[in-house]
C-alpha cells in the first residue's frame, strides 16, 4: 500500500481533515490495475475476481452508473482493490434515485460482499437496507453522498461541499459587485453533497453580499431541466447575473440557457465537477469557475479503509473525511497542478 500512504499524506498536506496518524502505518502489496467496464441499461455491473479465491471482495455502489464522477471512482476503486488483492464489484442503477438504487443494494446483499462502499441517493430512504448489511457483518463506507444515521457507518468520505459552495459565492459576489440576484440550481432534494454546496453558497452570500437575492431550483439531476429553469429565471429577473450549478449537469444546463438568452457577457456561471465537457466550457469562457472534487482519491481511500477494517487495522480508519476541493478558473486551467484533477 505504498501509494496509499503517499496519496493520503499528500492529501493531508493539502488540507485534508484526517488525523496525521493515518500517515504512520502502512503495508504494501503490488499488482496492476485490471480494466473494468460498465454499461447502463437498468444496472451496470463490473465484477473482477470476486469469485476467484480472493479472501475479500469490496463492492462499490455509485449514485448512478453513467456519471463521469462515479466512473472515475470505479476506475480508481478497481485499481486499488487489485493492488490490495481484493475482488471488486461495481453495481450501479441507471438513474440517480433511491427507488433505482434500493434493488441494486438488495441484490448485492444476497451476494454478501466483504465490505460495501456506497454513494447513497437519499439520506434516509436506504437506511433500512443498509442496516441489513451492517447486521450481516458487512462494514459500510459512504463515498460522496452520505446518510443521516452515521452510526451504522465505518467511515464516510466526501469533499468539503460547504466550502465549495462558499467559494462559488465569493466568485459570483465579486463579479456582481454585491448587487442583483443569483440562482442556485440544486440536483435532487435528497442529495447531501449538492445540498451542502447550495447551503454553503447561500450562507456565504448572506455573510459577504447581503444585498444579493438568491433564488433556488431543483433540476432532479437533469441537464435539460436546468436549462429550462435557468431560462425562466433569466426571463423573470432582469438583474439575475450569477448562476451556481451544484454539479456538472446543473452547470452545463445553465450554460445552454445563458447562451440561448445571449446573456453570456453579463451572467457569471459557477459550476461544480471537472467533467471534461464542463472544463471545455471553462476554457472557452462560457463559465467562470469550476469547483473540482477528487473522486478517484475518495474511492482509493474508501477501498483502503475497507481493507483496514477487514484486517483489523481499525486505528487507520477515520470515521469522517472531507477532501479539499480544487478551484479551476479560466486563468489557472493550463497549470498542470490544476488540470491533473480533470476527471478521467
> Which residues lie near ligand T6T (CB under 6 A)?
63, 67, 69, 144-145, 187, 191, 193-194, 247-249, 272-273, 293
Q: How far is the CB of 302 from ligand T6T (least distance, A)?
A: 14
Q: What residues contact 256, with CB distance under 8 A and at least 6 apart?
A: 223, 227
CB count, 10 Å around CB of 329? 14
Dihedral (CA of 164, 126, 50, 153) sign: positive
Cell of 132: 441489513
Can you tell me which residue has the cell 466483504?
Answer: 114
Q: How far is the CB of 66 from ligand T6T (least distance, A)?
A: 10
- Reference 169, options 133, 207, 132; nearest CA is 207
Contact, 65 vs 340, CB < 8 A?
A: no
Q: How far is the CB of 64 from ligand T6T (least distance, A)?
A: 8
Partners of 269 in beta bridges: 243
d(CA 265, CA 267): 6
Contact, 233 vs 205, CB < 8 A?
A: no
Dihedral (CA of 102, 108, 110, 114) sign: negative
Beta strands in the chain (DSSP E): 43-48, 57-61, 87-93, 115-118, 140-143, 155-159, 181-186, 213-218, 240-245, 268-272, 289-292, 320-323, 326-329
SS3 (DSSP) at 223: helix
Nearer to ligand T6T, 142 or 241 (CB): 142
Q: How far is the CB of 157 from ligand T6T (least distance, A)?
A: 11
Q: How far is the CB of 191 from ligand T6T (least distance, A)?
A: 5
Nearer to ligand T6T, 98 or 180 (CB): 98
Contact, 69 vs 278, CB < 8 A?
A: no
Nearer to ligand T6T, 167 or 308 (CB): 167
Can you tell me which residue has the cell 433511491?
Answer: 98
Q: How far is the CB of 55 from ligand T6T (least distance, A)?
A: 31
Question: Taking the mean position of all CA atoms in its chain, how far away is CA 172?
Answer: 22
Question: Taking the mean position of all CA atoms in its chain, how far away is CA 29?
Answer: 28
Q: How far is the CB of 143 from ligand T6T (least distance, A)?
A: 9
Nearer to ligand T6T, 240 or 251 (CB): 251
Q: How far is the CB of 58 from ligand T6T (least distance, A)?
A: 20
Q: How far is the CB of 300 from ligand T6T (least distance, A)?
A: 16
Amino acid at each position: 500500500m505504498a501509494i496509499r500512504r503517499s496519496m493520503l499524506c499528500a492529501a493531508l498536506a493539502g488540507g485534508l481533515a484526517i488525523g496525521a496518524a493515518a500517515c504512520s502505518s502502512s503495508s504494501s502489496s503490488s499488482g496492476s490495475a485490471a480494466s473494468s467496464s460498465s454499461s447502463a441499461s437498468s444496472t451496470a455491473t463490473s465484477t473482477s475476481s470476486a469469485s476467484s479465491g480472493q479472501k475479500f471482495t469490496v463492492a462499490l455502489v455509485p449514485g448512478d452508473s453513467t456519471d463521469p464522477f462515479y466512473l472515475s471512482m470505479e476506475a480508481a476503486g478497481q485499481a486499488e482493490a487489485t493492488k490490495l488483492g481484493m475482488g471488486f464489484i461495481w453495481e450501479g442503477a441507471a438513474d440517480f434515485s433511491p427507488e433505482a438504487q434500493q434493488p441494486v443494494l438488495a441484490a448485492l446483499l444476497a451476494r454478501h460482499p466483504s465490505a460495501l462502499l456506497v454513494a447513497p441517493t437519499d439520506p434516509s430512504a436506504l437506511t433500512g437496507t443498509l442496516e441489513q448489511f451492517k447486521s450481516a457483518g458487512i462494514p459500510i463506507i459512504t463515498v460522496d453522498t452520505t446518510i443521516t444515521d452515521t452510526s451504522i457507518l465505518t467511515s464516510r468520505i466526501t469533499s468539503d461541499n460547504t466550502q465549495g459552495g462558499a467559494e462559488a459565492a465569493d466568485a459570483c459576489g465579486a463579479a456582481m459587485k454585491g448587487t442583483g440576484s443569483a440562482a442556485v440550481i440544486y440536483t435532487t432534494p435528497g442529495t447531501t453533497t449538492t445540498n451542502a454546496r447550495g447551503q454553503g453558497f447561500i450562507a456565504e452570500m448572506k455573510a459577504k453580499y447581503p444585498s444579493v437575492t438568491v433564488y433556488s431550483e431543483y433540476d432532479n439531476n437533469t441537464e435539460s431541466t436546468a436549462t429550462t429553469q435557468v431560462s425562466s429565471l433569466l426571463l423573470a429577473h432582469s438583474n439575475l447575473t450569477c448562476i451556481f450549478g451544484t454539479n456538472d449537469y446543473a452547470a452545463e444546463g445553465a450554460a445552454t440557457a445563458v447562451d440561448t438568452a445571449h446573456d453570456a457577457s453579463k451572467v457569471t456561471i459557477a459550476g461544480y465537477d471537472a467533467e471534461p465537457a464542463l472544463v471545455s466550457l471553462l476554457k472557452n469562457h462560457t463559465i467562470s469557475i469550476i469547483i473540482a472534487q477528487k473522486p478517484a482519491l475518495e474511492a482509493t481511500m474508501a477501498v483502503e479503509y475497507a481493507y483496514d477494517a477487514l484486517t483489523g487495522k481499525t486505528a487507520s480508519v477515520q470515521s469522517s473525511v472531507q477532501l479539499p476541493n480544487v478551484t479551476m478558473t479560466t486563468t489557472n486551467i493550463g497549470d498542470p497542478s490544476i488540470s491533473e484533477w480533470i476527471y478521467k
